[in-house]
Structure 1
C-alpha cells in the first residue's frame, strides 16, 4: 500500500481510538501488521495530533484555567491537580521507560490487555454507579490518574484514557463527564511531553533522518481532525450512556485476537 495512504489511515485510526477507551496503541500496532510497521516516534507523535484535538475542544476551559490561576482559587486548585497528575506520570514514567519496563508490542499481550481492561472497566463502572455522585478532584484522584497513565504505557493495549478515567472513577470521581474532562486535560501536557521526548530521542539516536516526515505530518493532521469529531461525540455519549459497549468491544476483540493467533504470536 502507498506509504502516504497508509499513514493517512493510521492517523484516522489514531484520532478515532485515542479518546475512546479501547486502546489507540493496541489498534495502531494491530493495524500496522497490515499497513506496515512505523517507528515509535511516528506512533507517539500522531497521538499528540489527537491530543491537539482536546486542546481545540477544551480551549475555553483551558483559557479559563489559565486566566484564573491568580484570581480564582477553584481554577487554581484544578490546574494544580492537572499539573500534579502530569508530574506523577513524568517522574514515575521516565525511569520506567529508561529501564525498558514494557511488554513487547506483539499481538498476544495486547489482546490480553484488551480483555483484562474490558473486564476492569465493567467492574469499575458498576462500583462507581453505586457510589455517591461526586465531581470533586482530590489529590488522591490526581495521583491515581498519573499512575494509571504509566501503567497504560507499560502495558500496550491498556488504553491511556481508559486506565486514567477508570482510575478516577474508582477513587471517587464517579461522574463520567467530569472524569473524562480531567483525564483529557491531563493528557495534553503528557502527550506533548512524550512527543518532545520521542523527537529528542530520535535525533540523538540518529533515527530522525530516516523518518517519513511527510507521512508523519499527514497522520498528525488526520488524527487531530478525527480526534475533534470523536471527543465531541464521546462527551455527548457518556453524559447519558455507560462505557459498557466499549468494554464488551475490548473483550470481544481481545478474545478474537487470542483465538485467531498462531502459536507464539
Structure 2
C-alpha cells in the first residue's frame, strides 16, 4: 500500500476513534502492525488534529467561558479544567522524560481493551445507582488528570473512557463528564503534540519525518473527528456506552486469539 494512502487511513482511524471510548492510540498501533509503524511524533500530532475538531465543535462553549470570566461558575469551571491539565502535565511529563515509549506488540493493547471494556460495564452499573449531577467537583478534576496519564501509559485503555467513567462514578452525569473530559483534552493533546514536535526538531531537525503524510493524516483526523464527536454527543443523550464496552472486549479477544504469541 502506498505510504500516503496508509497515512490517510491512519488519520481517518484516529479521527473516528479519538472521542469514542475505544482507545485511538490502541487502534493506531494495531493498524500500524499491518500498515507499517509510524513515529511517536506522527501518532501524537494526528491526535492533535482530532482535538482541533473538538475545539470547533465546542467553540461556542469555549467562547462563553472565555468571555464570561465575570461569572463565578465560569471561573470555577476554567480553574478545574486548568487543574486537570496541570495534574496530567505534572505526572505525565516526568514519565515522558524517563523514556517511556509506546509498545511494539499488540497483545498488551488487546488486554487493555478487554480490561477497559469490563471497567466500562462496571462503571455504567455503579453510575446508574447514583443521582448524576452536572457539577464537576475538584476531586473529579484531579482524578481526570491522573486518568489521562494512565491512559497515555497504557495504550488501549482510552483516555476518554478512563476519565469519563471515573467522573461518572464520582457523581457527574454522562453529558457533563463527557464535556469536561473532551475540553480537558484540548490543552492536553495540543501540549503533548507541541512537546513531541520540539523533541523531534531538537533531535533530528526537520529530517526523519514524512511531513506531507503527517499533514494529510492531520487533516483527515480533523475532518473525521468533527463528524465523530458531533455524532457521539447526540448519541449519549439517549444511550449509554455499553455497546462500546462490548466492542472493546470482542476486539481484544479476537486479537489475542488471532495473533501469534509475542505479538
Residue equivalent to 1:160: 159
Residue equivalent to 2:29: 29
Q: How far is the alpha carbon of 1:208 from its aligned partner?
A: 3.8
Q: How far is the alpha carbon of 1:101 from its aligned partner?
A: 4.6
Residue equivalent to 2:218: 220
For 1:128 and 1:134, the matched residues in 2 are separated by 11
Q: Verify the 8 A CA contact 2:132 2:168 in the aligned structure 1.
A: no
Q: Verify the 8 A CA contact 1:41 1:202 in the aligned structure 2.
A: yes
Q: Which runs of 5+ in 1 are unaligned?
A: none
Distance 1:16 1:144, change over 3 A: same
Q: How does 1:237-252 map to 2 (within 5 A)?
A: 237-252=235-250
Residue equivalent to 2:46: 46
TM-score normalised per structure 1: 0.97
User: Structure 1 runs of 4+ off > 2 angstroms?
Assistant: 100-105
Other structure's SS at 2:207 match: helix
Q: Verify the 8 A CA contact 2:175 2:237 in the aligned structure 1.
A: yes
For 1:144 and 1:24, the matched residues in 2 are separated by 21
Residue equivalent to 2:146: 147
Q: How does 1:14-25 map to 2 (within 5 A)?
A: 14-25=14-25
Q: Verify the 8 A CA contact 1:42 1:216 in the aligned structure 2.
A: yes
Q: Verify the 8 A CA contact 2:85 2:145 in the aligned structure 1.
A: yes
Residue equivalent to 1:56: 56
For 1:101 and 1:32, the matched residues in 2 are separated by 19
Distance 1:105 1:144, change over 3 A: farther
Residue equivalent to 2:190: 192
Residue equivalent to 1:171: 170
TM-score normalised per structure 2: 0.98
